[in-house]
Chains A and B, each alone.
Chain A
């Protein structure tokens, strides 16, 4: 019922994040596929203070989508303050708020019919705006103020802590989210990716106005921000407007060292617990490549597609259709550091062990046997189609470009199709063998409290 979703926990949204993107497989009987993100329409510019701007001009409609991306996701949270980046995102929208007036940026955007929201992910925070094109120039100075000059009033911080605490409590009631967090925690016991994006009650208690100020001063600086715009704007004019709004803020070094990579898992990690669920929930995961290994990323995107995306996916035809699981989801979101391929599934309590074995068998099979040329072609087609629909709207395209800008460059969103197209069956087999090692699997199971037999041992 709450429409006021200005600040939202940044659980990645599959529809926006290019979890896996794709490539052109041209069916012989069909005309060639076209361009999804046309590079000829994209213009880029960097201000003297380091703020980066990417503009894709689309003049068909009087609409513009803007994403202000900040490298300030949970990856950047101090070890004892999980949720600090997310808390900071919340506070962006409290600065200047009074009982009678909403925050100026919100009033400016939504008061004139536009939309604004924000989310925090593991690698970045983003503020999204969609509005009529003629309104955008008036918004930019206030956006700059909101991002770069936020205030952290202790009273508002205390108030917002309650709001976030309630979010955390509500999340505990959503079993699949809890399961997924548990899987990440088991896979990354040391790395920040293992911590909840929103933090927990303990870490939240440690965050105060001073820590927020320090975090903001460190990461919310022009050279750590990228603006991505798609819509009815003229790039050179927009660059000038951004210069006026953001140009006076000085560049500041971001004093941050990447965390040590999580050591490889030498043995399987299994966690089984009783939870307040009606059916058994199974989370199975393997570490996946980070963005520095782009060829592996593309291969992994194809592997996850083959296994879990669509009605012909192996987990659908070989596991769900045989009633070993009742529903499942496979996800692999590319990250700056190594990510995670995660399968979550709902299982009848008495089929749990059979289901676990069946899921593991599919990963083992693809690692051992690889795939045929035909299967690979179908997966490329599927991935390519998904990528096209992921980029349907202007805001969708901002999401793709901004996502990769934060972990690499927006250019990868443009090149992605070609990169996936270059993947070979040998690549796939090699990547599957390296990453889908049963000795490196992470398994988390939530069983319902009622007595049950988890099925035959395997």
Chain B
């Protein structure tokens, strides 16, 4: 079950992925059951595996501020139940078999959704669907499993103290405020506020079929899969959940912390500050959403796809770490954090700098965002950026499980337009004026997270 732990603790990984430019060999089958559950079946004969994703549109905003981490805790509590079942229930031996083969069950939660999935060989699809229908919507949430989940989640939180990751967390706090959106896994304090009764009530309220989509990819004929979904998920009763809107914050903010262990991996002799500076960006349901990806590509930094930041040698040598621009580039001392599929989207840059260079570098990086309002990308910059984004999105679909998650998420949270094709066409239509408009609309405020290698004040 070690892989299951790993999968449970990677809730952010899938945020990087967007609907891609698929040319459907066989159009997916879409449908909605009477209880409101949406279905999507992609017949795929590239191998004989099947992938099932049940995605619930249960956002971080569903969690009370003082109980942030509820969704992550639900996932972990359920996981304990699964593991117990695999040990004791011979009917679930197929789960253990698939888990041993690097498939099996997984679960994740991010800002906009929670996801339960099963990956197995095609012949196990009926069992996998039946299991997910029961366990995503009516799991046994026991006290023992709950306590175990608290321990696991607490240890995960403790492990998230690496430079970069912790600076990113500071940045999210500065941008989003002390809300569950800033703490996707909660904090030790919020976890302490959650009881098993809270957990059960939260699950009962939000984990309902009318907030869910199930997507299946694999070689089983689509009509057959649809029947299996109807059989397993059709009897579930709908709920009455109403999703709250995301919290809105105004004004800029900075968060500063000290971290005496701040070092660059592989460069333990270099004393650095870690800096994340960013700006709000169009949300996933905003017409300008694709512009955020174009802006990321226009700026870089990616030496292999050089954007404006990549070409600014003085910025790289000005990090104060004693490296040439090329060497600083190779070491990725400045990195771009991609846009998020989120109602509170953002664009951000992360940099490792000499402590005395943090402030001027912050100003300079912020300037790249702000400059887009008056200095939009040239035609060549725009064309390169769009191609880059288009290919990156296509690659996100490599692998059956990735494709299935993309589609399930798109169906569940209502990504723009007829799913895949519209994002691509909207990307193609992005103009320099669109970039300018987004910069003026969103980049007036910014947020900063900084960690210094020793206690400091701002």
Residues of A within 8 A of B280 (CB): none
Knowing A3-B335, A388-B47, A394-B46 are in contact, say whether A62-B101 is a contact too (CB < 8 A). Answer: no
Interface flag for A437 (CB, 8 Å): no
In the complex, the answer to whether A60 meets B304 with C-beta atoms within 8 Å is no
In the complex, the answer to whether B392 meets A34 with C-beta atoms within 8 Å is no
In the complex, the answer to whether B332 meets A4 with C-beta atoms within 8 Å is yes
Task: Annotate B382-413 by CB proximity to A: 1 below 8 A, 0 otherwise.
Answer: 00100111111111011111110000000000
Interface flag for A206 (CB, 8 Å): no
Which of A33, A35, A170 contacts B123 (CB under 8 A)? A33
From 332 to 382 in chain B, residues with beta carbon under 8 angstroms from any chain A beta carbon are 332, 335, 352
Interface size of B by CB at 8 A reads 63
A390 to B304 CA separation, bound complex (whole angstroms) = 29
A109 to B302 CA separation, bound complex (whole angstroms) = 12
A3 to B332 CA separation, bound complex (whole angstroms) = 7
Interface flag for A39 (CB, 8 Å): no
Q: Main SS of chain A's interface residues?
A: loop
Interface flag for B102 (CB, 8 Å): yes
In the complex, the answer to whether A62 meets B20 with C-beta atoms within 8 Å is yes
Interface flag for B49 (CB, 8 Å): yes
Name which residue of chain B comes closest to A113, CB basis.
B391
- In whole Å, how far is A393's beta carbon from the nearest beta carbon of chain B? 4
Residues of B within 8 A of A111 (CB): 302, 304-306, 384, 388
Residues of A within 8 A of B15 (CB): none
- In whole Å, how far is A75's beta carbon from the nearest beta carbon of chain B? 28
Name which residue of chain B comes closest to A29, CB basis.
B123
From 37 to 75 in chain B, residues with beta carbon under 8 angstroms from any chain A beta carbon are 44-49
In the complex, the answer to whether A112 meets B266 with C-beta atoms within 8 Å is no
A310 to B1 CA separation, bound complex (whole angstroms) = 9
A99-107, A330-338, A342-350: which lies at the B interface?
A99-107
- In whole Å, how far is A449's beta carbon from the nearest beta carbon of chain B? 22
A31 to B324 CA separation, bound complex (whole angstroms) = 61
A392 to B384 CA separation, bound complex (whole angstroms) = 31
In the complex, the answer to whether B101 meets A33 with C-beta atoms within 8 Å is no
Interface flag for B25 (CB, 8 Å): yes
A135 to B384 CA separation, bound complex (whole angstroms) = 13
A135 to B26 CA separation, bound complex (whole angstroms) = 23
Name which residue of chain A comes closest to B392, CB basis.
A113
Interface flag for A61 (CB, 8 Å): yes
Which of A31, A34, A113, A390 contacts B305 (CB under 8 A)? A113
Task: Annotate A379-390 by CB proximity to B: 1 below 8 A, 0 otherwise.
Answer: 001101110111
The 9 A-B pairs at the shortest CB distance, nearest first, are namely: A113-B391, A34-B48, A310-B100, A385-B101, A110-B304, A393-B399, A111-B305, A113-B392, A132-B391
Q: CB within 8 Å of B: which residues of A?
A: 1-4, 15, 27, 30-38, 58-63, 65, 99-100, 102, 106-107, 109-115, 130-132, 135, 170, 232, 309-312, 381-382, 384-386, 388-397
Pairs across A and B, CB under 8 Å, 6 listed = A99-B326, A112-B387, A112-B388, A130-B398, A384-B121, A385-B120
Contacts A33-B121, A131-B391 aside, 11 further interface pairs with beta carbons under 8 A come to A1-B266, A34-B48, A34-B121, A61-B23, A61-B394, A111-B306, A113-B395, A130-B395, A311-B100, A385-B121, A392-B399
